[in-house]
Amino acid sequence: MTLQLTVPNMACSACGETITKAVKTVDPTATVQADPKTKLVNIETPLGKR
């Protein structure tokens, strides 16, 4: 499952790292790409697949 989220308040790479850590706490297998310039977070996870 791929999720793309818009995070309007993401201002810097530290924000992206915080988001990545939060996602990985819930799903350690997730791949997270956070881009403060576009304010987009892409999450690839196998958890939603059945």
Residue-wise pLDDT for 22-40, tens only, equals 999 999 999 999 999 999 9
Q: Which CATH architecture has domain 2-44?
A: 2-Layer Sandwich (3.30)
Q: What is the pLDDT of residue 47?
A: 81
Q: Provide the Cα torsion 7, 11, 17, 19; round to 10°.
A: -20
pTM above 0.95, yes or no: no
The burial of 6, by beta-carbon neighbours within 10 Å (0-12 exposed, 13-18 middle, 19 or more buried), is given as exposed
